[in-house]
């Protein structure tokens, strides 16, 4: 049987090119080899988001983005976390078998304390909810960047403890699947990130997109001088999108001289405009129909709740709750 892979997506902003290349594209490729589940983690977003309209809007932005990028809801379980309230029941059981010290060692919580912040209890409890997200669906693997390893290991520890206390086979032990996604630079050359204002939004087009491409930092060589493409932010984005032949051609033109950074930026603009055109169209149509998006997510939630209830039935019987 195919293994199950589960991924959560926090609806905190409109996805950018870094999210697409670093998370969305690799995740969609996984659905060829795994039974995949993707959920929009709106309750995780609530640890920081305080604007109800923005949260609702971002859930729809994210749902439309993933569908536009090729997620097939007939093949992939696709739902909104808050539509599956069973996750909170499991999270309570997990909290009851977890030492507070384990949560105190949580990276997100520790970071916040180290920065002198006063994190809310949601930040402290977040690894428990994440473990419940994972364990509720008999997840085998969780694709993550190396920085998230601790959270999946904690979920695995919790599952092992539940099995030890209440019987083997109660919960499936998940494993981290460390993905080596490319780090996509933003227009200022540092990691593309919403908080830094250096992003290229995924479905930007026309003049705005062109302006963003032209704003990418480059060297200050003259038009005539030969230029090294490798390692420049512009080329690092370009080669993720263009074909291997196109990338080699751009690299050669820059190396030959008499080809300016402005020309290279133009080439990047064209490749983004071209590659994302079909997805942009699908996104626009999907995003204009929030009720349609909710219907897709509701169908996913129905399916998800069926799996969730089976897990909870097992757990309730064994813990003595029923
Ligand atoms: P965030 O936008 O920080 O919520 O990240 C959502 C997902 O996108 C995570 O899986 C990140 O690893 C990925 N991601 C975000 N920014 C980048 C980037 N600049 N390059 C590659 N992946 C990224």
pLDDT in tens, the chain (322 residues): 899 999 999 999 989 999 999 999 999 999 999 999 999 999 999 999 999 999 999 999 999 999 999 999 999 999 999 999 999 999 999 999 999 999 999 999 999 999 999 999 999 999 999 999 999 999 999 998 888 899 999 999 999 999 999 999 999 999 999 988 789 999 999 999 999 999 999 999 999 999 999 999 999 999 999 999 999 999 999 999 999 999 999 999 999 999 999 999 999 999 999 999 999 999 999 999 999 999 999 999 999 999 999 999 999 999 999 8
122: how many CB neighbours lie within 10 A of its CB?
13
CA–centroid distance, residue 195 to ligand 1 (Å): 11
- 22 CA: nearest ligand 1 atom: 22
CA–centroid distance, residue 186 to ligand 1 (Å): 11
- 191 CA: nearest ligand 1 atom: 19
φ/ψ of residue 6, rounded to 5: -125, 140
Residue 39: beta bridge partners?
A: 8, 79
pLDDT at 35: 97
Contact 314, 138 (CB under 8 A): no
| DSSP secondary structure letters along 280-313 | HHHHHHHHT-HHHHHHHHHHHHHHHHHHHHHHHH
pLDDT at 1: 85
pLDDT at 145: 81
CA–centroid distance, residue 18 to ligand 1 (Å): 6
Q: Whose CA is closest to atom 14 on ligand 1?
A: 19
Domains, the chain, with CATH or none: 4-183+289-319 (3.40.50.620), 203-283 (1.10.240.10)
Verify whether ligand 1 is closer than 6 Å to residue 22 (CB atom): yes
pLDDT at 322: 86
Residues near 54 by beta carbon (within 8 Å), at least 6 away in sequence: none
Contact 201, 41 (CB under 8 A): no
pTM for this one? 0.94
Q: Compute the residue count for the chain.
A: 322
Verify whether ligand 1 is closer than 6 Å to residue 23 (CB atom): yes
Q: Ligand 1 pocket test: pick from 23, 45, 48 the residue with the most ligand atoms within 8 Å of its Cβ.
A: 23
Where are the alpha helices (H) located in 48-120, listed in sequence order? 52-68, 86-96, 100-104, 107-114
**Tokens 């032990």 map to which residue?**
173
DSSP conformational letter for 22? I
CA–centroid distance, residue 144 to ligand 1 (Å): 11
Verify whether ligand 1 is closer than 6 Å to residue 199 (CB atom): no
Q: Whose CA is closest to atom 2 on ligand 1?
A: 19
Contacts of 120-128 with C-beta under 8 Å, sequence gap 24+, read 120/47, 122/46, 122/47, 123/47, 125/91, 125/95, 126/44, 126/47, 127/103, 127/151, 127/154, 127/155, 128/91, 128/94, 128/95, 128/98, 128/103, 128/158
Torsion of CA 125, 130, 131, 133, to 10 degrees: 130
pLDDT at 170: 98
């Amino acid at each position: 049987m195919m293994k199950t892979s589960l991924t959560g997506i926090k609806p905190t902003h409109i996805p950018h090119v870094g999210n697409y290349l670093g998370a969305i594209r690799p995740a969609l490729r996984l659905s060829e080899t795994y039974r995949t589940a993707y959920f929009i983690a709106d309750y995780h977003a609530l640890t920081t988001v305080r604007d109800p309209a923005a949260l609702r809007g971002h859930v729809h932005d994210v749902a439309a983005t993933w569908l536009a990028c090729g997620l097939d809801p007939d093949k992939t379980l696709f739902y909104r976390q808050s539509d599956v309230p069973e996750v909170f029941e499991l999270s309570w059981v997990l909290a009851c078998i977890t030492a507070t010290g384990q949560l105190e060692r949580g990276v997100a919580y520790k970071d916040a304390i180290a920065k002198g912040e006063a994190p809310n209890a949601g930040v402290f409890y977040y690894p428990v909810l994440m473990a419940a997200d994972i364990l509720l669906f008999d997840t085998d693997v969780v694709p993550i960047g190396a920085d998230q390893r601790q959270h999946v290991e904690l979920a695995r520890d919790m599952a092992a403890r539940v099995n030890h206390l209440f019987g083997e086979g109660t919960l499936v032990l998940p494993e981290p699947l460390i993905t080596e996604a490319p780090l996509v630079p933003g227009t200022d050359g540092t990691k593309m990130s919403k908080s830094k204002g250096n992003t290229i939004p995924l479905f930007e087009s026309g003049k705005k997109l062109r302006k963003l491409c032209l704003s990418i930092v480059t060297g200050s060589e003259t038009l005539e001088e030969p230029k090294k493409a490798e390692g420049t932010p512009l080329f690092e984005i370009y080669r993720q999108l263009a074909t291997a032949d196109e990338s080699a051609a751009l690299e050669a033109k820059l190396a030959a001289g008499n080809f300016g950074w402005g020309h290279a930026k133009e080439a990047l603009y064209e490749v983004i405009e071209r590659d994302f055109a079909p997805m942009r169209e699908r996104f626009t149509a999907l995003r204009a129909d929030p009720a349609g998006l909710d219907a897709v997510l509701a169908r996913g939630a129905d399916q998800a709740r069926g799996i969730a209830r089976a897990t909870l039935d097992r757990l309730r019987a064994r813990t003595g709750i029923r």
